[in-house]
Homo-oligomer: A and B are copies of this chain.
Amino acid sequence: MILDKDKRILIVGLGLLGGSYARALHRQGFYVSAITLDDDSINYALKHNIIDKGTTDIDEDLIACADLVIFAVYPHIFIDWIRQNGHLLREGTIITDVTGVKSSIVNEIQSMLKPGVEFIAAHPMAGREVYGVENSDDAIFKGANYIVVPTEKNTPWAIEICKQLGETLGFADISELSPERHDEMIAFLSQLTHCIAISLMCSNDAPDLARYTGDSFRDLTRIANINDDMWSELFLANQTALLHQMDKYRESFEMLYSYIKSGNREQIRNMMRLSSVRRREFDKKV
């Protein structure tokens, strides 16, 4: 199977990401249908020529005739959907997703699917701080990373289709990570940073200090304004990896704390030098 234009694509969950996928794929000539929870999203998408067809029902024909099904929903909704409707997927169908955590869902989904239906997981590292198909925009994929997350159950052609999807959507970098490595990366680079920002904002109620706020504080806490419904689910779905990264970070923080407390300037400087070297490394990789 190649992701050519005669493939029929079904998107389940027509929100910001699902809508952005639909825009990119429909514009390139794919037949794109959608199943989502509310009529307004379907009406909006039809009116703005984002999809070819859409419904809020579990339309068995629509599901059966899809070659590729993309799930752009919260993890627990994805799992529930497959449990209830997975039997409607036709043999030969490939399904993929946009979920930000992997270990906790990939094996479960793969084990629920009937033979001949293959789930290849993917994480498009793109988004905006607004919601809904009304705000969808496939420009968010430009310059962004697209990570394919295969397991040993995946076939080479499903992995290839998934990569072709990433390219078709316009991502700048397509890579592969195992579910475990992906979740460790997400725990460190994304979830831990959100935990830090949340903790910092919760630690001090001093609105009068806002007057003196500089760029460093603003930059660090920007992500403390957070979608609590989605992120609390993602935190708990990646609990083990996140706690591990929090443990490692705490060790480092406590080390710095003890050096400041004991006035050990040389060790404080050593940590600063290490952090400077490492941070400059990240700049180079832009």
Contact = CB atoms under 8 A, between A and B. Distances in A.
Interface in A165-181: 173, 175
Interface stretch (A16-24, A107-115, A257-265): A257-265
B261 A213 contact: no
Interface in A186-236: 188-190, 192-207, 209-214, 216-226, 228-229, 231-233, 235-236
Interface stretch (A51-59, A63-71, A85-93, A278-286): A278-286
Interface stretch (A30-38, A39-47, A151-159, A239-247): A239-247
B232 A220 contact: no
A82 interface: no
B272 A212 contact: no
Given A221-B279, A226-B272, A216 B201 contact: no
Contact of A279 (B196, B206, B222, B285): B222
A28 interface: no
28 contacts: A125-B214, A145-B212, A145-B214, A175-B212, A185-B206, A190-B217, A195-B253, A196-B200, A199-B253, A202-B275, A203-B248, A210-B281, A210-B285, A217-B282, A219-B219, A219-B220, A219-B223, A222-B279, A224-B275, A224-B279, A225-B283, A226-B272, A231-B272, A235-B260, A236-B260, A239-B260, A243-B260, A243-B261
How many copies are assembled?
2
A248 B202 CA distance: 9
Nearest to A223: B216
A249 interface: yes
Contacts of A251: 203
Contacts of A194: 216
A200 B280 contact: no
Given A199-B271, A225-B279, A228-B276, 11 more contacts: A197-B275, A200-B252, A201-B274, A201-B279, A203-B248, A204-B248, A210-B285, A224-B276, A228-B272, A229-B269, A231-B272
Contact of A274 (B202, B218, B246): B202
Contacts of A282: 210, 213, 217-218, 221
A276 B188 CA distance: 21
B212 A185 contact: yes
A272 to B, nearest CB: 4
